[in-house]
Amino acid sequence: MIGRWTKSALVAISLSAVPAIGAVQDDLDGAPGTMSLQVTTDPSMIECRKLETVNPASLMFLPLRRTFNEDFDEHPLSGGRWVPHYAGGAAWPEARYWGGDGSDFKRKTSANGEQQIYVDPRYTGRASAPLGLDPFKVKDGVLSIVASRTPQELKSVLFNNEYISGILTTQGRFAQKHGYFEIRAKVPVGHAVWPAFWMLADDGGWPPEVDVLEGRGERPGDLVMTTHWRIPSTQKIQSCGFDFAVGDASSTFHNYGVLWEEDRLVYFIDREPVSDIKVPIGFDDPMYLIVNLAIGSKFFVGVGPVDAESPPSVAFEIDRISAYQIDMEQARR
């Protein structure tokens, strides 16, 4: 989602349909307490590859146990699991998260060319009292993160951003090293629309970054899964990922996930592996979860700046977000 590097540093990207490799189909609608994923045991010496064909003899089942699950049966800010902004360091005063000049720093990534500000009912912007803006709507166990054009009378109060939208992160609330991380969602489309589910290191550093899912809003059905890391000797950012064609992604719920093993990252669509990469250097700390709906980009292909065709309102529908840890005891049996 840190899109400023995507254009210049993407070392491998291609468009493909989702391959059918035959993973275990554990109740795709739900998040069972335990489940197995079918993975390859090929040596993880491949820097980055699409899993278009897999040697059946190399496949094994990896047992997992659930460690986190959010079904969105209630407002996401009511249970203490999520925060509606990017978190900061110890020097950032608590009050600054909720308003005042400069508070928009934690509510958008300006370097990407984003044109939204992430709001929540407590946020005041430049006003003296909370604005009561809520981009999070829950109905029948589905969370909708709604992005809409900023009311003209609130433009100056909200730092002249074109849209208001929402972000949820678990930094300081939940983070995990290794395991399987999954979202079940419909991916919205439209000019300048940029939905994402991704992960960052809980210590606040960047990279590493794992983009489990990003939607290219101006290319319906085109989804991208990407890994980002830093080369220590040069300090340059490297990225590697692939696009996948999921034709009904905007109208049908699908599962998008990543399995983080000690030696590799494996990306999944509907619990079938679609790409993998040897774990790059720097993936040392637990990672936390982020889900958001950005509007506008300078660098991310398929997401341009806001224009007259950008929708007045658009929703990122999320059925659930889950995390699993690898059950090493079961795996050894």
Find where tokens 């909200």 sit.
Answer: 158
**Radius of gyration for the alpha carbons in the chain, expressed in angstroms and rounded:** 19
Contact 107, 167 (CB under 8 A): yes
Question: Does residue 1 sit within a domain?
Answer: no
Question: Quick one: which of 48, 82, 248 has its CA closest to 169?
Answer: 82
Its domain, for residue 49, covers 34-332
Residue 22 pLDDT > 80: no
Rounded Cα distance, 164 and 286, in Å: 30
Q: Per-residue pLDDT averaged across 28-43, rounded?
A: 87
pLDDT confidence tier of residue 56, bands split at 50, 70 and 90: confident
pLDDT surpasses 60 at 45: yes
Catalytic residue from among 70, 162, 209, 317: 209
| Mean pLDDT score, 273-294 | 96
Pairwise pLDDT comparison (180 vs 95), residue with the higher score: 180
The active-site residue out of 70, 114, 162, 214 is: 214
Lowest-confidence region among 26-40, 120-134, 141-155, 189-203: 26-40
Structure tokens at 208: 């590493």
Please list, in sequence order, all residues whose beta carbon lies within 8 angstroms of the beta carbon of residue 28, skipping any fewer than 6 positions away.
Answer: 184, 255, 270, 271
Q: How far is C-alpha 169 from the geometric centre of its chain's CA atoms?
A: 10
pLDDT at 23 over 50: no
Residue 16 lies inside a defined structural domain of this protein: no
- Cα 297 from chain centroid (whole Å): 16
pLDDT band at 7 (very low <50, low <70, confident <90, very high): very low
Give me the residue label for tokens 């220590």.
232
Range name among 30-34, 199-203, 206-210, 329-333 with the lowest pLDDT average: 329-333
Strand partners, 277: 265
292-304: average pLDDT: 97
Q: What is the reported pLDDT for 330?
A: 66
Q: What is the DSSP letter of 199?
A: E
Give the confidence band of 28 by pLDDT, cuts at 50, 70, 90.
Answer: confident
Task: Please report which confidence band the pLDDT of residue 184 belongs to, taking 50, 70 and 90 as the band edges.
Answer: very high
**Residue 9: inside a domain:** no
149 phi, psi to nearest 5 deg: -60, 140
Q: Which residue has the tokens 């000049």?
A: 101
Q: Which two tokens stand for residue 119?
A: 């709001």
Contact between 118 and 85 (Cβ < 8 Å): yes
State both tokens at 98: 């909720």
Is 214 an annotated catalytic residue?
A: yes
- Domains contained in the chain, number: 1
In a domain, 123, yes or no: yes
Tens digit of each residue's pLDDT (9 = 90 or more) over 153-182:
999 999 999 999 999 999 999 999 999 999
Assigned domain for 46 exists: yes
CATH of the domain at 297: 2.60.120.200
Between 190 and 20, name the one with better pLDDT.
Answer: 190
In the chain, % of residues over pLDDT 90 = 77
Report helix, strand or coil for 161. Answer: coil
**Tokens at residue 68, please?**
């986190």
Q: What is the pLDDT of residue 25?
A: 46
Distances in Å between the Cα of 71 and the Cα atoms of 13, 157, 194, 226 are: 32, 33, 23, 25
User: When comparing pLDDT for 20 and 142, which is higher?
Assistant: 142
Residue 5 domain-assigned? Answer: no
| Confidence bin at 44 (pLDDT 50/70/90) | low
Nearest to 333 by CA among 66, 62, 59: 62
pLDDT, position 41: 78
Six-digit token pair at 262?
């000690």
Q: Tell me, what's the pLDDT at 261? A: 95
- In contact, 280 and 238? CB cutoff 8 Å: yes
209 is catalytic: yes
CA distance 113 to 305: 8
Rounded distance between C-alpha atoms, residue 240 and residue 233, angstroms? 18
The predicted pLDDT at position 196 comes to 98
| Coil, strand or helix at 296 | coil
Residue 320 has pLDDT above 80, yes or no: yes
**Contact (CB, 8 A) for 72 and 142:** yes
pLDDT at 321 over 70: yes
What is the C-alpha separation between 11 and 99, in angstroms, rounded?
Answer: 39
Is residue 309 scored above 70 in pLDDT? yes
What confidence category does residue 230 fall into, taking pLDDT thresholds of 50, 70 and 90?
A: very high
Residue-level pLDDT at 4: 43
H-only helix segments in the chain: 6-9, 328-332
Assess whether pLDDT exceeds 60 at residue 26: no
**Residue 26 located in a structural domain:** no
Residue 40 lies in a domain: yes
Task: Give SS3 for 131.
Answer: coil
Question: Do residues 211 and 196 lie in contact, with contact meaning Cβ atoms separated by under 8 Å?
Answer: yes
Cis before 43 (ω within 30): no
